Amino acid sequence: MKITESLAQEINVRQACAALTVSSAGFYHWRNQQKKGPKENLRPAPPLALSEEEEKTILGILHEERFVDMAPPEIYSKLLDEGIYLCSVRTMYRILEKHDEVRERRNQLAHPQYQKPELLAERSNEIWTWDITKLKGPVKWTYFYLYVILDIFSRYVVGWMVAHRELAALAGKLINQTYEKQNIQPEQLTIHADRGSSMTSKTVAFLLSDLGITKSHSRPHVSNDNPYSEAQFKTLKYRPTFPQRFGSIEDARSFCQDFFRWYKREHHHSGIGFLTPEDVHYGRAEEIIKERQAVLDAAYKQHPERFKWVMPRPMALPSAVWINKPAPTDPAQH
């Protein structure tokens, strides 16, 4: 518009507006507005508008503890039930929007900082992880719950159970039975889990304390903090024989019985040097590796050229297993 005004000083307004493809009516309206003072441009308050004090009163009521988490339509209805009318629902929204509170009116607390768990296992029965997964039942929206406790060093499933529901009491019972079966001593074991309701329950926390077990938890929404349980469930559900649904809890238990027998005794796990979890858990790994080496020695002795004259070695058993191994420290920084 300012360009139009400058051009109009040299030619007439109609020609200037035509040259710049500007509406002449719009130009005149803009120029009249520029001539008025700032007070004249202010839109007068509607005669029925709420006063500033009334707005403060309404905002204070919207901030009350009983209303702070409610939407305006619900607040409006509750107040009417109490025989109170403050304003329309739209006015409530307008007042909240004016104070940038349409989404949240409660003071938002910062999420606590959760420490990344760093757990090291150098032998069996030093670190266990446990988790619960759903198994689909016979009809839609029905499930059975599989509880599994896993030793991370050996990948041996030390305890499992299929139940109708997820309960802290059932989890506590399984942990206690597994603790006794594995002959765990106080202060020997750490149990790691995510932050599900059963995992963080007081029932389980008190039990672990009584048994002398150290508890550890994943950070919220971080599945990598419990990778061994996640991987074991993936192995379970990717088995060719894993059904879409189980006809009954007895079917689920029968399937898991067969699966865990195979997983512990026959499954040669890549994470433990292609040994079986049972062999590692019960200390047979060293002897099996020696036997494998003897077979390779014989093969090498017969045809060393097939091995490029390099003595073959069987895959070793890892000496340590981590949950969130710390990054190596750079010596140059010291």
pLDDT at 58 over 60: yes
Tell me the average pLDDT across 101-122: 77
CATH superfamily of 119-272: Ribonuclease H-like superfamily/Ribonuclease H (3.30.420.10)
Q: 73 or 277, which is more confident?
A: 277
Instruction: For residue range 181-218, list pLDDT tens digits in order.
Output: 999 999 999 999 999 899 999 999 999 999 999 999 99
Q: 13 or 327, which is more confident?
A: 327
pLDDT at 153 over 80: yes
**pLDDT value at position 112?**
72
d(CA 318, CA 156): 15
Work out the mean pLDDT of the chain and round it to a whole number. Answer: 88
Read off the pTM: 0.66
Q: 97 or 318, which is more confident?
A: 318
**pLDDT value at position 108?**
60
pLDDT at 220 over 90: no
Residue 157: Cβ-neighbour burial (10 angstroms; 0-12, 13-18, 19+): buried
**pLDDT value at position 269?**
95
Residues of the chain above pLDDT 70, percent: 86
Tell me the average pLDDT across 218-242: 92
| Torsion sign across C-alpha atoms 290, 295, 298, 304 | negative
pLDDT at 52 over 70: yes
CB 123 within 8 A of CB 104: no
**pLDDT value at position 283?**
96
How far is CA 11 from each of CA 7, 16, 17, 213, 290, rounded to the nearest angstrom? 6, 7, 10, 92, 103
Domain ranges of the chain: 2-41, 52-98, 119-272
